[in-house]
Amino acid sequence: MAIIKPFKALRPQAQLAKQVASRPYDVLNSAEAKVEAQGNPSSFLHITKSEIDLPESTDIHAAEVYEQAKSNLAAFIKRDVLFRDIKECYYIYQLIMNGRSQTGLVCVSSIDDYENNVIRKHEFTRPEKEQDRINHIKVSGAQTGNVFLAYRNNNEVDALIDKWKETKTAVYDFTADDEIRHTIWIVNDSDTIEKITSLFEKEIPCTYIADGHHRAASAAKVRAALGDKATPDADFFLTTLFPSNQLHIMDYNRVVKDLNGLDTEAFLEKLRDKFELTLLGKEAYRPEQLHSFGLYVAGNWYRLVAKPGTYTEDPIGILDVTILQNNILTPILKIEDPRTDKRIDFVGGIRGLAELEKRVGSSDMAAAFSLYPVTIEQLFDISDSGNVMPPKSTWFEPKLRDGLLTHLIYE
């Protein structure tokens, strides 16, 4: 069963919450982070993307980057931008995007659970991305990146969280520049804390990583590297748990650089072997059901519908990303490994279909594919089966902000 704990969050003064809160470190490159933090000395990007405070020629994985993060974190605390709660608490985090609300429980989750598959995964991790976060955590002593976990919703947990939101005053409540509203309540009542902990231990058999595989893996490897020097706090990592009925998975689309030597007509002809094709012209197409795809090539949109025999019924074979890979990317375009092939790129659904048209229209790419989003049940099925999704299969929105709640593993 799931082991979670309250923790003493390092967090901003209420009046500084909006200035401190930053987009996750892994959705911004260094140049974007520098622009976003410009003129804001309280932006948490000075900690998560600390290279913005060093010369532009600095290697973002150099030792001085992590030392700068440690120094900046200490300065934030010294300036009283951030302070640490004196009592271990749970935190309720509500996000509202485009009128749609979702609420999660911020806590720390057991690294033992991660290693014993009580916390289930659906992606492989990349060593270089792991190492970056390992270095950041070890040097700064802080888990700054929140791991987004999902669980099958439980009525008792829902009722507890809803009651707290209705009867207590939020400590933070602001709308960010991207129009997403962030509201956080502190659960500091000992009886309520004990009840939440007990409910997860008795009623929630497992949780699922929705977003943050590298952050979770890095926390586990830091604990292992510390060995006997690991503190009790290092046995846990920063997570926010969302019930499955509140989650929204967006499409994660693909663009390809070339058609593997084929002209447009020859490419379309090959597609007709496995798909029903409909020319849509200039009307952008967002798939409305599983096994249908949008294709943008040579200035036109097409609807593709997978024919029988293009997929299997197992948890991986039935995914649209698998259908695309097995019937188009590998056999026709000769893109064998999308993790490493430089001829393919991925575009999160938050950027919209216009981004696909832009990438192809700029001659950067030759064609784009829009996909129907993976469902939360598909994610659960794959995680439960021990399988791994193809890369870049899920895009969750809205994103949790860094800096509002940080977990220190040592001081």
Cβ within 8 Å of residue 77, ≥6 positions away? 10, 83, 84
Q: Is 380 inside a domain boundary?
A: no
3-state secondary structure of 329: helix
Residues 404 and 349 in one domain: no
Q: Is residue 34 part of a domain?
A: yes
Residue 247 near residue 376 (C-beta atoms within 8 A): yes
- Per residue in 143-181, pLDDT tens? 999 999 999 999 999 999 999 999 999 999 999 999 999
Instruction: State how many domains the chain has.
Output: 2
Strands 275-281 and 207-211 come out as: unpaired
Helix (H, G, I), strand (E, B) or coil at 98: coil
How much is the pLDDT for 325?
Answer: 94
Give residue 270's domain range.
252-372
Does residue 379 fall inside a structural domain? no
133 and 194: one domain? yes
Report yes or no on 364 lying in a domain: yes
CATH number at residue 301: 3.30.1760
- 208 in the same domain as 82: yes
The model carries a pTM of 0.87
**Would you place residue 387 in the very low, low, confident or very high pLDDT band (cuts 50, 70, 90)?**
confident
The verdict on 63 and 156 lying in the same domain is yes
377, part of any domain: no
pLDDT, tens digit, for every residue of 71-129?
Answer: 999 999 999 999 999 999 999 999 999 999 999 999 999 999 999 999 999 888 878 88
